[in-house]
Structure 1
């Protein structure tokens, strides 16, 4: 879709025509129009930077999630949440001076990133998961010599969970791993899965040996740079010869969401393969099927999220939930020590990142509630934050949203009380009634050029006889429409000529739109009483038609049609 000049509301608000001009503040409208255009240009599909997820402009109601994090964040000194569904950001929020771009220590969530970097060598054919570690690190001898690369990354290498050398900043990664090689082997390789950092450290050293790069440089070249993860690094204070690969990365919710989106797209980002589809599949497979589970990162919180009780390892991540029948992966995750929680929900084609730097045990309830509330919000369907289920216009807005006729703003709101314009209504009425925009080769009006975002819809609505212009060859596309004008368009579109006695004290028989309003009243487009449309027996026909009112009128019209 080519970049053009759309508007956030422009796909949803109706506007009608009448020869009478509407008085308004031109400067104020120009300011609002400028803001709307800027907002839409920033969010329009195809106009984002290559590879960037596009913000979903009519999204899901995350109010409960927002309330939960707003109350929980102060204790943690800040939290942030990014949720991507179908490659679109449906939630991006920060709490307590914390944002999606805030850099934090991500703890054990480092491992998912590290495993993906390692798999680039498998894609290149320079490393095989079945290779013994001794092929690359001869200091691993005896029973340790047969530990495979797969076992290093699936937590069943038999190596201990921790080792003091990992936090020793006087060492290099090479020296750290040599100390690990000289240490104990608590269990035989391939027999027991135990969440820990030692085997990942060894796996990272193998990557250094094969690539000839430091781990930090290797990760930057193969993952961070291709994905544009500018704030993600394994460096500590800018330099670290012995990075804690299993728990020492720093990142942001924004950056990590890019990584997860790449995995959801089977290794593709911005049209380029970061990983092969086969490599992604290997990361997600149960790589320790013959081993028993001794410890997982979910052991202490499984009561809050029962599905985690059966978690098993992939490569550097955890198969949190699988289909009980055929074992298909449903949810993958990799929770961090400090509460940083990334996850993928394959059922919903969704990736989420809850960012914080807190204590995992203290944040466990809030993390698990977020993990439960996000799917609930999606199951409820598309919503707007400012059109709750209790709103008088909720059903109509939801109806037109589901039909793809209306959208909201980048902030997830619909702004139901905002006035709509003639151009917006031209597009809405044409779209609702299945009228395609006309292909135009010359300016239809002096103020509607061929380059105008709604020119084709304006021309189509005028051609149908639903809308007309003003003297002097003007259309006044940005002018708000009145309730009367909106009703006139509906009546004209259906060729209605019904008569009735109107109950509205402010619509007299001599009023210019009286006959059209009669027809709409007879057909049930407007009613009495009609909360939100009329008030105290007054229709206020010259008042601006709001976005909510336009949705109600059009939803009622569509309900009359097969």
Structure 2
């Protein structure tokens, strides 16, 4: 009898066991928010609102500790909203007190990340180059100021002062404001000192006006808010503003900003369309001033709370909070605002966030960082499924595999633990669990597994290692359910075990085709007796279909044996 082996994957890039349902909130959030976490903590201008959580959408991760922490902060913040999005799915959305994810707030310096992205659309078009001198577009910049580059403007490395009173003068146009800046001082030479401030961003925005022939507000609307559907985001504070504070004057919402961060996480793509090129996104995220001295960043007073010991480095309009010390690969990026609105992206988790409060950023820094610690902890704890409660025999194993990123789920929030596993699914799950990459197939592995089959590479890899075999006639039967015996055979083969034991199962006797493989798994503790959910009444039912829950338990036990 030929051994037929198991599976546990759906036709997506991970074993699909739980995918959070997309949510729709206000008219400004009619499309799916993808790719990240958005957290908004807001302050009411009036009296303190009563604490209370308003759940907008239910997620699949256990955010209890996050919600408790945010609820406890409500009397101080007077209102909060939390939206969590990871791997393209909303996993938590909740409002606290009077605020929700669609509440419009002043986002302060978080405006700069948005503005830099708008500027980079010109770089994508070829009408602007980052190393162009500012004098090419603004001839009023002369002397040492003429050599300031576009790159230096957007990375706080221009040498211009941090602030200028002309930015707050609403009687001026942006053009007039920048001309005053051009006639002002240059505290340090361009390209020598990074100092967080708003003046250089104001100049950079004026360059965009000159090239595009539009006002900054119109340019920003056409390049960013309209294509991303950010209906509640603008620089039009209290009506049309001829001299917008580009570095700190935008208003937005958590759900709006989440669209922007999603686009960045997706390599510049939103709803199937490129807002920015992948190269532009990568440029925004690079250290733009590696040789310059860091004089001041938004984190100067709270540097001890940062994950990196080397301090923040400037990207374009944002800050590189943490990077791999060996490769400089960006791990965490953020752009905190004066009033606490703090968007961030965690590239390790494919997750991002925004924290907003019209409070004091320095005073709120601990709370901001605490939330940013709690959310990854909830992610690391694994997914939670409606049909796999904590009392389930498979709860620990399913949670283990979801925390490892090996399994996810369905849009209904369920795991469907009793569903059978297919051969193709199991090939992918075992390969993924054991760190085996899919083969680069150049021809059809089997007659019924073409080169375009979603699991072709994993099937080829598993067959090549001798873990699975095909059927006569060149068939693999990828959609056929696998049995418990077949699942155990694959595990034994993958480890090359040959241990023997006396089996306690009445339905697995010597002479049974998989007897020796099952012996090895029993010896290693992959199966036990008693073993609720795997065996029943002293019987293993080896020819029964291997379920999703059973496959998770078997592989979780296998992984527990690994050093």
TM-score range, shorter chain: 0.5 to 0.7
Alignment partner, residue 194 of structure 1: 195
> SS at the partner of 2:157?
coil
Alignment partner, residue 114 of structure 1: 115
How does 1:436-447 map onto structure 2 within 5 Å?
none
Flag the 1:93–1:355 CA change in 2: closer, same or farther, 3 A: farther
Matched, 1:53 2:54: no
Matched, 1:297 2:298: yes
How large is the Cα RMSD of the aligned pairs? 3.8
- The separation in 1 between residues aligned to 2:346 and 2:115, in whole angstroms, is 20
- The separation in 2 between residues aligned to 1:270 and 1:554, in whole angstroms, is 32
CA contact (8 A) 1:109 1:341 kept: yes
CA contact (8 A) 1:80 1:356 kept: no
Alignment partner, residue 351 of structure 2: 350
Alignment partner, residue 69 of structure 2: 68
> SS at the partner of 1:179?
helix
- The separation in 2 between residues aligned to 1:92 and 1:187, in whole angstroms, is 45
How does 1:60-99 map onto structure 2 within 5 Å?
60-99=61-100
- The separation in 2 between residues aligned to 1:219 and 1:435, in whole angstroms, is 46
Q: Deviations over 1:398-442 (max 9, x none)?
A: 3797885865756xxx6x9xxxxxxx89xx444589999xxxxxx
Residue 310 of structure 1: CA displacement?
A: 1.8
Q: Deviations over 1:379-406 (max 9, x none)?
A: 2222359977677773366379788586
CA contact (8 A) 1:62 1:385 kept: no
How does 1:263-342 map onto structure 2 within 5 Å?
263-307=264-308, 309-342=310-343
Alignment partner, residue 500 of structure 2: none
| Unmatched runs of 5 consecutive residues or more in structure 1 | 1-10, 14-38, 417-423, 437-463, 465-494, 498-516, 526-552
Q: Deviations over 1:131-171 (max 9, x none)?
A: 11111111111111111111110101111001111111111
- The separation in 2 between residues aligned to 1:274 and 1:235, in whole angstroms, is 22
- The separation in 1 between residues aligned to 2:22 and 2:184, in whole angstroms, is 58
Alignment partner, residue 374 of structure 1: 375
Matched, 1:228 2:197: no
CA contact (8 A) 1:58 1:408 kept: no
Flag the 1:219–1:308 CA change in 2: closer, same or farther, 3 A: farther
The number of equivalent residue pairs is 410
- The separation in 2 between residues aligned to 1:225 and 1:42, in whole angstroms, is 20
Flag the 1:297–1:398 CA change in 2: closer, same or farther, 3 A: same
Residue 321 of structure 1: CA displacement?
A: 0.7
How does 1:145-224 map onto structure 2 within 5 Å?
145-224=146-225
Flag the 1:177–1:131 CA change in 2: closer, same or farther, 3 A: same
- The separation in 2 between residues aligned to 1:280 and 1:185, in whole angstroms, is 30
Alignment partner, residue 35 of structure 1: none
CA contact (8 A) 1:57 1:408 kept: no
Residue 83 of structure 1: CA displacement?
A: 2.8
- The separation in 2 between residues aligned to 1:202 and 1:558, in whole angstroms, is 57
CA contact (8 A) 1:58 1:409 kept: no
Residue 113 of structure 1: CA displacement?
A: 0.3
- The separation in 1 between residues aligned to 2:255 and 2:287, in whole angstroms, is 28
CA contact (8 A) 1:192 1:292 kept: yes
Q: Deviations over 1:277-312 (max 9, x none)?
A: 111111111111221000000111111224165211
> SS at the partner of 2:81?
strand
Q: Say which is worse superposed, 89-98 or 170-179, in terms of deviation.
A: 89-98
How does 1:511-522 map onto structure 2 within 5 Å?
520-522=536-538
> SS at the partner of 2:302?
coil
Flag the 1:211–1:558 CA change in 2: closer, same or farther, 3 A: closer
How does 1:497-512 map onto structure 2 within 5 Å?
none
Flag the 1:375–1:496 CA change in 2: closer, same or farther, 3 A: same
CA contact (8 A) 1:61 1:384 kept: no
CA contact (8 A) 1:162 1:198 kept: yes
> SS at the partner of 2:159?
coil
> SS at the partner of 1:310?
coil
> SS at the partner of 2:320?
strand
- The separation in 2 between residues aligned to 1:291 and 1:381, in whole angstroms, is 41
* TM-score, normalised via structure 1 length: 0.65
Structure number with greater Rg is 1
How does 1:116-155 map onto structure 2 within 5 Å?
116-155=117-156
- The separation in 2 between residues aligned to 1:283 and 1:557, in whole angstroms, is 43
Residue 337 of structure 1: CA displacement?
A: 0.8
Q: Say which is worse superposed, 292-301 or 53-62, in terms of deviation.
A: 53-62
Residue 125 of structure 1: CA displacement?
A: 1.1
- The separation in 1 between residues aligned to 2:423 and 2:137, in whole angstroms, is 67
- The separation in 1 between residues aligned to 2:157 and 2:17, in whole angstroms, is 56
- The separation in 1 between residues aligned to 2:146 and 2:362, in whole angstroms, is 36
| Unmatched runs of 5 consecutive residues or more in structure 2 | 1-15, 37-56, 427-480, 482-505, 509-532, 542-546, 559-563
Q: Deviations over 1:357-396 (max 9, x none)?
A: 2221221111001111222222222235997767777336
CA contact (8 A) 1:154 1:288 kept: yes
CA contact (8 A) 1:58 1:407 kept: no
Residue 215 of structure 1: CA displacement?
A: 0.4
- The separation in 1 between residues aligned to 2:554 and 2:333, in whole angstroms, is 46
Alignment partner, residue 447 of structure 1: none
Q: Deviations over 1:14-42 (max 9, x none)?
A: xxxxxxxxxxxxxxxxxxxxxxxxx9797
- The separation in 1 between residues aligned to 2:206 and 2:106, in whole angstroms, is 21
Alignment partner, residue 244 of structure 1: 245
> SS at the partner of 1:259?
helix
